Amino acid sequence: MIRCFILPVLILIAIGAYSQSLSSADVKQVKDIAYAIPDDDTLQTLNLVLPEAGHDFPLLIWIGGGAWSYGNKNIEMDLARQFARKGVAVASVGTRLSPATWRDSSYNTGVKHPAHAQDVAAAVKWLYDHAGQYGFDRNNLFVGGYSSGGHLAALIGLDSSYLTKEGLSPRLLKGIIPISGTYDIANYHEVLLNSDRPELAELHVEAVFGSEEEDFIRASPVHYLTHLSIPMLLMSDNNMYNYAKRFEEKIRETEFREMQVVYAYNLSHGALWRDLSFADESIYRSLILDFIAKHVGQS
């Protein structure tokens, strides 16, 4: 029996281990901005973190982890401040959530895919339209995320239908930065079915995406590789290595060359997130900053 690694487990450990946030005195923050219409769902909100001085910053649109079921945009604020201190504005995006009764019986209501991805696309549209108001450059937008957020970042960047429906060109994104996600939902479902907790295939994956093969295909970034054009930085911890490697190999088959791949072999799922969020000096954060700097202004 395979002992599987489920997306959310170590992120919860990481959050619990770090209750003391970094100072926000040297950045500007605007919290709980509604990006959807109607604007009565508090989950469909985002936080903006901006460098203290200057304007026309590149913007990293960031989706945190949480198994598509209990993410919280506020938990990502330390990470956002780290990037803002280096001149990159960050939008920490919240989305509607799916049920997660496998974790807590009270988490028994919520949405299914594609609602989460639709929310991210709506947030991109709002940010594009309001860039001038907040001082970031709408012509230098990047999308990234961690764990389930990494999946959503890849999906938004590769399946053009989400941004097109919002009246946006998919090419407006300068780069995609998926970190420690899973990118082939059918494979993820199969791994869980053959694991020591097979019930999670239904309670976790099917609760988010549905139970049919076509549901998994539509939700999988690995099935949108025909017309690759947006540069990608693919990063993974050691727990999620197999999922990222599978994705990397599929992309390599297309001979797409605008991809960098980084494996943090010495860091677990929670440890890489902690490194990005709290480390005074992080090589992985530096690699993201270098990727953004390389692709700013490219057409």
Number of domains in the chain: 1
Which domain does 124 fall in, by range? 9-295
Give 235's pLDDT tier (boundaries 50, 70, 90).
Answer: very high
> Does residue 4 belong to any structural domain of this protein?
no
Q: What is the pLDDT of residues 146-167, one digit of tens each?
A: 999 999 999 999 999 999 999 9
DSSP secondary structure letters along the chain = -B----TTHHHHHHHHH--PPPP-TTEEEEEEEE-SSS---TTSEEEEEEESS-S-EEEEEEE--STTTS--GGGGHHHHHHHHTTT-EEEEE-------TTT-TT------TTHHHHHHHHHHHHHHHTHHHHTEEEEEEEEEEETHHHHHHHHHHH-THHHHHTT--GGGEEEEEEES----HHHHHHHHHTBS-TTHIIIIIIHHH-SSHHHHHHT-GGG--TT--S-EEEEEESTTHHHHHHHHHHHHHTT---EEEEEETT--HHHHHHHHHH-SS-HHHHHHHHHHHHHTT--
Check residue 221 and give its pLDDT: 99
Report if residue 53 sits inside a domain: yes
- Confidence band of 9 (pLDDT split at 50, 70, 90): very low
Chain segment 103-115, per-residue pLDDT in tens = 999 999 999 999 9
CATH of the domain at 218: 3.40.50.1820
List pLDDT tens digits, range 26-76.
999 999 999 998 877 899 999 999 999 999 999 999 999 999 998 899 999
Is 24 inside any structural domain? yes
Q: Does 21 map to a domain?
A: yes
